[in-house]
Amino acid sequence: MVARKFKDLDDFVPTISDSENEVPDLEDSDDEVVKQTKVLPHKAKKTKKNQSKQQHDVKGELVDEDVHEDLNPGFEFELDGSEVTSNFDGWNFEGDKRANEGTKDVDLDGIIRRKGGLVQLVGTEDSASDVGSEDNDTENEGSDESDDDNLAMDGFGMGTSAVGEDASDGNDGSSDVEEEVEESELSAAEAADQKLEVEEEDSDDAKAAFYAPDEESSEARNTVHSSFNSLSLSRPVLKGVGALNYVKPSPIQSAAIPIALLGKDIIAGAVTGSGKTAAYMIPIIERLLYKPAQVASTRVIVLTPTRELAIQVSDVGTKLAKFVSTINFGLAVGGLNLRQQEQNLRSRPDVVIATPGRLIDHIRNSASFNVESVEILVIDEADRMLEEGFQDELNEIMSLIPSKRQTLLFSATMNAKINQLISLSLKKPIKIMIDPPRQAAAKLTQEFVRIRKREDLKPALLFHLIKRLDDQAQKRIVVFVARKEMAHKLRIILGLLGMKVAELHGSLSQEQRLQSVNGFKSLEIPVLICTDLASRGLDIPKIEFVINFDMPKSYEIYLHRVGRTARAGREGRSVTFVGESSQDRNVVKSAIKSAEENNKQDTVVGRMIDWSRVEEINNFISNKDDTIIEILEEEKQEKEILRAEMEVRKGENMLKHKDEISARPKRTWFQSEAEKKNSKVINALSKTKKTINSKKRKRLEATEDRARSYKKTKNDRSTDQQRTYAKQRAKVDAKKKKKRART
Ligand code: AMP
């Protein structure tokens, strides 16, 4: 079976690590640096344009129809923040061209093509590739009609009556009974967990000591600003807001801007799509207007968990500050050219948007960049930052920036406990909680497909579905999967079926990520398969369909995913594959309940599937098992060759510029990759420890001790690439020779 075989190849995803962009490009003279001096207002426009090009090469173009359709002056934010206008063009970002010159990625599409994929299939195989095509669909029209049968409100037989799925499945209901039992057992365990959680909740006293008094936040929430004019903003800032066609502040903007302008610390609950970036960027720009004019120094740092979000934030900031000539922005993110960033940071941009690791790197190693004058720190997606192994890096940053500062924390959920927040040295923060969306967008149709015991048919089902959804004009379809390995597998499987799709997840190089997003945005590749991680902050206009290939862990994440479509009052459709776990079923139940409460029962439907056709496609996929393995192996080999070639180039550069390199101060690292992984393990363990009994706890503590006693390997310590140069050159040549001989 495909699934079993894939397990043996868990390192197939072509990853060119960040450091690979750091091949010293010493031909680059420092003289080429365009100094970012303060500019006169009449020159500001031109210089700003150049700046943003130098900094992150954001393309200024917008697809015309996006401009007109998305910039809706009458646009109103819903409290749930799920409606957005989108004139964001940050995804047009092309990466750092110079940085990418030296690096190449494996051409997976080329490999798939060589193996017979990405072409219209003919002959017997046609039956598989054609399933779901227009002809077949017409034939199947009758059943298609019934596809949209209303889903019984008990959600696949989760309650009393029968469900609106295909009768051929012969559901006798008995499995449901078993599952109810399983579910109730589970709920007992969950309840026990919850009890533990409750015990750990912050006490009222702790909250009173930590947060500002409630009155301060309720006042902020109750004063609703229906226009930006009442927010006491200066003219250039209002002009910037106007240029983005923002007419009315979103709820988070209305509540957060006045408090941030007062210099107070904030902990705000706001999800992507609620206008949170402008909620902190507007007061930052307003405050920077009054900075001392002569001294160039970095006064604001915005930390984000991902490069994409950093780029997006930088784009929004640059646009909002369009009419303020004295503010400049810098980026310090992994995956982009280190030297170029260094040069940019040398001019000490007022606002630096950074991912934590790269920021520490620059603070330690970039001459003349420092964070001694930081007055405002923003932590975006703070919940994620606190959870996902950034703790050590955050602590390090906290120790490096002045403690006398304003801290603004934006978080999608407010689950962080005070003891986690203490390390961020907030001073009596004001809590602003804008309710996250508890209901789907008004014009969203939510479809569910019950998978039952046909998990292995899911790739075939996905193909079948995309063919059907994407029948007429090209539509954008986002497919969510739980794991990046699956995203990659699906790209190959669908490729062999003749369908080109893009993937987006954490194991791709920056170049590959940008390619995926840009291709998707321009509709060149209308299907994007991604993980939740990569989808955060994804702000692409007009996504018609969201497919949940794997069910998300919670209804909140489900809402977040389906919120990618049916935005800004448009129509949209989501199709979710539902497995048999109680987790999957709970999400369906919540969707149905929410629709009922809002009198929108007819928007939740069960999709009937012609499983015989899906089986046919699956037969085709099964026949391609060996080809899939071959593709993965070839990809792995090419990746190794590329990696080795890069090492060789690095070595050659090192030799060529030996004197210059040895004259430079040595780079120091805050954590090696292995140390970072280890600290993630330790953090995860200590989190789990809190919720388990003492016996299990002891076992975990032993594991934790082992992790702590980890010593740096020779590799970690090594900074000198020359040693391996000759060896690698021989290896690459041998591999190339072998490959040539094979082909
Ligand atoms: P964010 O939550 O910052 O990712 O913003 C989501 C989207 O909302 C972006 O496309 C913004 O351009 C847009 N947006 C932010 N604030 C406003 C506003 N006040 N009015 C209209 N659109 C906005």
Ligand 1 within 6 A of CB of 253: yes
Pair 208, 153 in one domain: no
CA atoms of 179 and 452, how far apart (whole Å): 12
Q: What is the pLDDT of residues 486-506, one digit of tens each?
A: 999 999 999 999 999 999 988
Query: What distances in angstroms separate CA 239 from CA 50, 51, 262, 523, one per listed residue?
Result: 21, 20, 21, 32
Given a cut of 80, is residue 88 above it in pLDDT? no
Ligand 1 within 6 A of CB of 82: no
CA atoms of 28 and 623, how far apart (whole Å): 51
Q: What is the pLDDT of residues 481-490, one digit of tens each?
A: 999 999 999 9
Q: How far is the CA of 299 from the centre of ligand 1 (A)?
A: 24
Q: Which ligand 1 atom is nearest residue 228's CA?
A: 19
Pair 34, 173 in one domain: no
Ligand 1 within 6 A of CB of 276: yes
pTM above 0.75, yes or no: no
Q: In this structure, are residues 91 and 518 in contact, taking their beta carbons and an 8 Å threshold? A: yes
Pair 162, 206 in one domain: no
438 in a domain, yes or no? no
Ligand 1 within 6 A of CB of 298: no
Pair 480, 401 in one domain: no
First to last CA, the chain: 28
CATH number (domain holding residue 566): 3.40.50.300
Given a cut of 50, is residue 9 above it in pLDDT? no
Q: What is the pLDDT of residues 120-134, one digit of tens each?
A: 653 333 334 443 333
Pair 178, 232 in one domain: no
Ligand 1 within 6 A of CB of 447: no
61 in a domain, yes or no? no
Give the residue numbers spanning the domain of 729: 715-743
115 in a domain, yes or no? yes
Ligand 1 within 6 A of CB of 565: no
Tokens 């003219």 identify what position? 235
Q: In this structure, are residues 480 and 547 in contact, taking their beta carbons and an 8 Å threshold? A: yes
Mean pLDDT value across the chain: 73
In terms of pLDDT, which residue wins out, 35 or 119?
119
81 in a domain, yes or no? no
Pair 467, 608 in one domain: yes
575: which strand partners?
Answer: 447, 547
What per-residue confidence (pLDDT) applies to 454?
A: 94
Q: How far is the CA of 52 from the centre of ligand 1 (A)?
A: 20
CA atoms of 682 and 709, how far apart (whole Å): 11
Q: Which ligand 1 atom is nearest residue 253's CA?
A: 19
191 in a domain, yes or no? no
Pair 650, 675 in one domain: no
1 in a domain, yes or no? no
163-167, 376-380, 703-707: least confidently modelled range: 163-167
In terms of pLDDT, which residue wins out, 208 or 89?
208
Instruction: Supply the DSSP string of 316-348, one letter for each residue.
Output: HHHHHTTT-TT--EEEE-TTS-HHHHHHHHHT-
CA atoms of 308 and 510, how far apart (whole Å): 9
97 in a domain, yes or no? no
Pair 486, 615 in one domain: yes
Residue from 277, 280, 543 whose mutation best tests the ligand 1 pocket (most atoms within 8 A of CB): 277
Q: In this structure, are residues 289 and 323 in contact, taking their beta carbons and an 8 Å threshold? A: no
Pair 468, 575 in one domain: yes
Taking phi over 0 as left and psi of -120 to 50 as alpha, with beta for the rest, 221 belongs to alpha
Ranked by mean pLDDT, which of 158-172, 252-266, 426-440, 693-707 comes out on top?
252-266
Indicate the pairing of strand 502-504 with strand 351-354: unpaired
Given a cut of 60, is residue 79 above it in pLDDT? no
Mean pLDDT of 367-391: 87
Count Cβ atoms below 10 Å from residue 238 Cβ, excluding itself. Answer: 18
Residue from 233, 250, 306 whose mutation best tests the ligand 1 pocket (most atoms within 8 A of CB): 250
Q: How far is the CA of 443 from the centre of ligand 1 (A)?
A: 19
Instruction: Supply the DSSP string of 629-667, one letter for each residue.
Output: HHHHHHHHHHHHHHHHHHHHHHHHHHHHTHHHHHHSPPP
Pair 555, 471 in one domain: yes
Q: Which of 377, 408, 433 is the last residue of a domain?
A: 433
Q: How far is the CA of 46 from the centre of ligand 1 (A)?
A: 25
Closest CA relative to residue 267, chosen from 366, 371, 407? 407
Mean pLDDT of 213-240: 84
Ligand 1 within 6 A of CB of 211: no
Pair 737, 650 in one domain: no
Q: What is the pLDDT of residues 547-566, one digit of tens each?
A: 999 999 888 889 888 888 88
Ligand 1 within 6 A of CB of 86: yes
Ligand 1 within 6 A of CB of 274: yes
Pair 289, 389 in one domain: yes
Confidence of residue 534 (pLDDT cuts 50, 70, 90): low
Q: Which tokens go with 356? A: 């934590």
283 in a domain, yes or no? yes
For ligand 1, atom 14, which residue shows the shortest CA distance? 275
Contact partners, residue 394, CB within 8 Å, separation at least 6: 303, 356, 379, 385, 386, 423, 424
Given a cut of 70, is residue 262 above it in pLDDT? yes
Count of domains for the chain: 5
Residue from 77, 84, 280, 312 whose mutation best tests the ligand 1 pocket (most atoms within 8 A of CB): 84
In 425-476, at which residue ranges do the beta strands (DSSP E only) sit? 430-433, 444-450
Burial group, residue 649, by CB count within 10 angstroms (0-12, 13-18, 19+): middle
Q: In this structure, are residues 710 and 642 in contact, taking their beta carbons and an 8 Å threshold? A: no
Ligand 1 within 6 A of CB of 273: yes
Ligand 1 within 6 A of CB of 330: no
